[in-house]
A and B are shown apart, each in its own frame.
Chain A
Amino acid sequence: MLLAACALIVAGAVFLTFGVREKDLPQPDAESPVQHLEERKGQIYENLRDLQFEYRVGKLSDEDYQKTKTELQTELAKVMAQIDQILGASPATAKVQPAASARPEPGTVCPHCSAKFDKPLKFCGECGKAMVEGAA
Chain B
Amino acid sequence: MPLYIRRLLLVLVAGLCLAQSSSDMLTPAIRRVGDRLACLCGSCKNTVATCSMLGCHYSSPARERIAKLQAEGKSDDEIVDDFIKREGKRALAVPPAEGFHLLSWVMPFVAIGLGLAAIWAFVKRNSKPAVAPAAVDAAVLNRYQAEIDKDLAKLE
B-contacting residues of A (Cβ < 8 Å)? 45, 48-49, 52, 70-71, 73-74, 76-78, 80-81, 100-104, 109, 111, 113-114
Q: For B147, what are the chain A residues with a Cβ–Cβ distance below 8 Å?
A: 80, 100-101
In this complex, the member of A77, A78, A103, A111 whose beta carbon has the largest number of chain B beta carbons within 10 angstroms is: A77
A111–B142 Cα gap in the complex (Å)?
13
Q: For B143, what are the chain A residues with a Cβ–Cβ distance below 8 Å?
A: 77, 81, 103
Q: For A111, what are the chain B residues with a Cβ–Cβ distance below 8 Å?
A: 149, 152
Report the nearest A residue to B155, measured CB to CB. Answer: A49
CB-contact partner of A77 in B145, B152, B153, B155, under 8 A: B145
Report the nearest B residue to A67, measured CB to CB. Answer: B133
Instruction: Known pairs A80-B148, A103-B146; list 12 more (Cβ under 8 Å).
Output: A45-B152, A49-B155, A52-B156, A70-B141, A71-B133, A74-B141, A77-B140, A77-B148, A80-B144, A101-B147, A103-B142, A111-B152
How many B residues have CB within 8 A of the partner chain?
A: 19
Least CB distance from B129 to A in Å reads: 14
In the assembled complex, B137 has its CB within 8 A of some CB on chain A: yes
A55–B1 Cα gap in the complex (Å)?
49
**Can you list 8 A-B pairs, Cβ within 8 angstroms, ordered by A?**
A70-B141, A74-B141, A77-B140, A77-B141, A100-B146, A101-B147, A104-B146, A114-B152
Whether the Cβ atoms of B155 and A74 lie closer than 8 Å is no
Q: For B144, what are the chain A residues with a Cβ–Cβ distance below 8 Å?
A: 76-77, 80-81
Least CB distance from A98 to B in Å reads: 9
Q: How many A-B residue pairs have C-beta atoms within 8 angstroms? Tell me.
A: 57
A81–B140 Cα gap in the complex (Å)?
7
Mask: chain B, 28-72; 1 = CB below 8 Å from A; 0 = not: 000000000000000000000000000000000000000000000
Whether the Cβ atoms of B151 and A78 lie closer than 8 Å is no
Whether the Cβ atoms of B146 and A109 lie closer than 8 Å is yes
If the complex has contacts A45-B155, A49-B155, are A76 and B148 also in contact, measured as CB distance less than 8 A? yes
CB-contact partner of B141 in A48, A49, A73, under 8 A: A73
A103–B150 Cα gap in the complex (Å)?
11
Least CB distance from B155 to A in Å reads: 5
Report the nearest B residue to A53, measured CB to CB. Answer: B156
A26–B52 Cα gap in the complex (Å)?
62
